[in-house]
Amino acid sequence: MSSFEGKVAAITGGASGIGRKTALLFAQKGADISISDLQTEAGEETRRMVEALGRKCLFMKVDVTKEAEVAEWIQKTVSTLGGLHIGINNAGIDGVAAYTDSYPNDVFQRVMDINVNGVWYGMKAQIAHMKANGGGSIVNIASVAGLMALPRNIAYTASKHAVIGMSKVAAVEYARKGIRVNAVCPSFTETPMVIDSLVRQDSGLDLETMGQMNPMKRIAQPEEIARAIVYLCSEDASYVNAHSMIVDGGLSVI
C-alpha cells in the first residue's frame, strides 16, 4: 500500500475504536495526524500513541455538531502540521433501540446532528482547504445500515443513508478539483460504541452471539475497517471516487 510520507490526515472520533486504529495505521505509513473527539483523556492517549510511532500529532476537543469548532480544528491542523491531505469523518453515535412510532424525538435529532451534520461540517472545512491546495481524499464512515434496513434503529439507519448520499454528491462536485470522496460501510465492529450499545440496550446479545450472525462467524476488528479507509486514501485507489465500500464479512447479502 502507498506511503503517506509528507501527508496530514485529520480524523474525527479519533480517541478510540475505528478512529484510533485509523490514526495509528496512517502514522505507521508516514502521515502526521490530527484527531478530534470529545473524550479528552482517550484523545490524548491516541496522540501519545501516534507520537510514539515518530509522527506529529495534534489532538483537539471538538464537538462535531458545532460548525465553528470543526472549522477551527481544521484551521489549527493546517497551521500546526503544515497542510491537510486526508479527511476522515468518523465520529458517530448509535442512538437507542426503539420502534419508529415510539422513537424519542430528542434522540433522533441528536443522532442526526452528530452523524449527519458532523460529517457535513467536516467535509465543508476539509474541502475548503483541499480545493485551494491541490486536492485530497475524504472518507466518511457510514454503515451497512446505510444500504439496508436496521429495524428499531430508524435514526441510525437514516443518518447512515444520508452519509452515503452526501459522499456521492461531494465526490461528483469536487472530482475536477482533485478531491476524491468515498464512504466505508462496516457492519458490527468490536468498538467501545458497539460494546456500550449491547450493555445499554439490554439486548441479550454479546459479541460472540453477534459474530455468529455473520457468514465469517465473527464481528470485525477496528483495524480491519481502518485498512479499508487507508486504502481508499492511497494512490492505489486513485480512480476510486463516489464509492461506498462494504466491509461486513458478507452480512449484507444474507
Say whether 239 is catalytic. no
Q: 156, 174, 231, 239: which one is catalytic?
A: 156
For residue 156, which amino acid is it?
Y
Cite the active site residues.
Answer: 156
